[in-house]
């Protein structure tokens, strides 16, 4: 006797068998996704009924489908029919996915579930060929990869800057500590001089008055010299403190920049996605998709050139004309090669 399960209907108990399910699958075969989902639903149902290891043979012998196709149908059912059943209601979103062919729905599985509906609608998936849809998915993946690379590079750059600023801060803190130590040493030397006995033996002077005058003069000269050194040491200490405070400020700014790096990259990716979607809508996908891609990448390239020119301007403002000249030359060579390549195409 065949393996089966029973369901309760209005007229009594009906036994569901693999043969019955196979017949239903053959009846539901079609090209639109809703029909595929019904087939996928029944493949899932049969797999639960059949003993372990018999599903593949049953698919080939009873339905005429390759096992790989059956697996794809079950995957589509699980992705679009089970957990996302609301996609196939009466809303506009349901039509975006529900009217697609099996091959397009399968291709869209490369897009995360939470973004799939919006992506299919934005690129006009129903009007695209399977090849064009796969190309749109590939472009999306390239944009995401590019944005992730930019974000990772930006994070690494900020991390390096942060480490450099931490090193600079440690250096400035050491300079402050050394300046304070030198200042304290000079002050101690002055205190010892001021507390020393007033009479100092001076062999070149004979009488007592001359000895006292010479000692006073020597002491005053020594005090004056020490006070000048102290004043200089205080200035150096103050400068070291100022440099240390500036290093702390830059380090804090670097930390804030690092924290916002991912948000910046994410916003850049969202802007790029919107630009591509708007371009596709304007052209209504009636023309070559390559022209859409070209316009998008042309805008991105133009933005990159503007950013490079901005770097050159900043170098000139900082008085680094030689560096600015080198970058300008590199940009010119790049543009000349692009022009040459375009002329040869």
CATH code, domain with 195: 1.10.287
Same domain, 88 and 207: no
Mean pLDDT over 148-173 rounds to 75
Same domain, 178 and 274: yes
Q: What is the pLDDT of residue 305?
A: 79
Among 79, 110, 127, residue at a domain's last position: 127
Mean pLDDT over 330-344 rounds to 78
Do the beta carbons of residue 223 and residue 194 sit within 8 Å? yes
CA gap 147, 306 in Å, rounded = 18
Mean pLDDT over 265-289 rounds to 58
What is the secondary structure of 239-298 as a DSSP string?
HHHHHHHHHHHHHHHHHHHHHHHHHHHHHHHHHHHHHHHHHHHHHTTTS-HHHHHHHHHH
Lowest pLDDT segment from 133-137, 150-154, 314-318, 335-339: 150-154
Same domain, 309 and 278: no
Same domain, 277 and 211: yes
User: pLDDT by residue (tens digit) across 53-84?
Assistant: 999 999 999 999 999 999 999 998 888 875 44
105 versus 283: which is more confidently predicted?
Answer: 105
- Structure tokens given for 279: 């371009």
Same domain, 147 and 58: no
Q: Residue 309's domain spans which residues?
A: 287-345
87 versus 68: which is more confidently predicted?
Answer: 68
Same domain, 25 and 106: yes
Lowest pLDDT segment from 52-56, 134-138, 254-258: 254-258
Same domain, 106 and 245: no
Same domain, 308 and 209: no
Same domain, 240 and 160: yes
Q: Mean pLDDT, the chain, as a whole number?
A: 74
Q: Which residue has the tokens 């002329």?
A: 343
User: Could you give the residue ranges of the DSSP H alpha helices within the chain?
Assistant: 18-28, 33-49, 55-58, 67-76, 92-98, 102-107, 113-123, 130-195, 208-283, 289-317, 321-344
- Name the percent of the chain lying above pLDDT 90: 10
Same domain, 159 and 220: yes
Q: What is the pLDDT of residue 170?
A: 79
pLDDT band at residue 187 using 50, 70 and 90 as cut-offs? confident
Same domain, 276 and 296: no
User: Which range scores top for mean pLDDT: 46-50, 102-106, 308-312?
Assistant: 46-50
User: pLDDT by residue (tens digit) across 226-239?
Assistant: 788 888 878 888 88
Same domain, 34 and 48: yes
Do the beta carbons of residue 109 and residue 89 sit within 8 Å? no
pLDDT at 41 over 80: yes
- The count of domains in the chain is 3
Q: What is the pLDDT of residue 135?
A: 92
Closest CA to 245 of 175, 185, 182, 180: 175
pLDDT band at residue 96 using 50, 70 and 90 as cut-offs? low
């Amino acid at each position: 006797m065949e393996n089966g399960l029973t369901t309760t209907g209005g007229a009594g108990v009906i036994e569901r068998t693999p043969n019955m399910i196979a017949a239903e699958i053959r009846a539901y075969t079609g090209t639109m996704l809703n029909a595929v989902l019904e087939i996928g639903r029944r493949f899932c149902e049969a797999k639960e009924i059949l003993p372990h290891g018999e599903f593949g043979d049953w698919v080939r012998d009873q339905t005429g489908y390759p096992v790989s196709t059956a697996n794809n149908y079950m995957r589509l059912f699980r992705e679009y029919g089970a957990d996302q059943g609301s996609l196939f209601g009466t809303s506009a979103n349901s039509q975006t996915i529900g009217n697609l062919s099996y091959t397009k729905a399968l291709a869209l599985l490369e897009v995360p579930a939470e973004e799939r509906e919006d992506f299919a609608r934005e690129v006009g998936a129903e009007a695209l060929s399977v090849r064009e849809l796969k190309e749109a998915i590939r472009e999306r993946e390239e944009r995401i990869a590019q944005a992730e690379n930019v974000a990772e590079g930006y994070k690494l750059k900020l991390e390096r800057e942060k480490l450099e600023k931490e090193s600079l801060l440690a250096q400035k803190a050491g300079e402050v500590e050394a300046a304070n130590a030198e200042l304290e040493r000079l002050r101690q030397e002055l205190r010892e001089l001021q507390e020393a006995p007033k009479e100092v033996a001076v062999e070149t002077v004979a009488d007592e008055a001359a000895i006292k005058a010479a000692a006073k003069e020597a002491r005053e000269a020594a005090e004056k010299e020490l006070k000048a050194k102290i004043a200089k040491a205080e200035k150096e200490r103050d400068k070291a403190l100022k440099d240390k405070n500036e290093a702390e400020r830059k380090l804090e700014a670097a930390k804030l920049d690092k924290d916002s790096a991912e948000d910046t990259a994410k916003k850049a990716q969202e802007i790029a996605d919107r630009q591509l979607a708007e371009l596709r809508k304007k052209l209504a996908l009636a023309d070559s998709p390559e022209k859409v891609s070209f316009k998008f990448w042309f805008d991105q390239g133009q933005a990159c050139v503007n950013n490079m020119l901005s770097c050159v301007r900043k170098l000139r403002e900082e008085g680094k004309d030689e560096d600015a000249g080198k970058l300008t030359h590199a940009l010119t060579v790049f543009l000349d090669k692009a022009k040459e390549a375009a002329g040869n195409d």
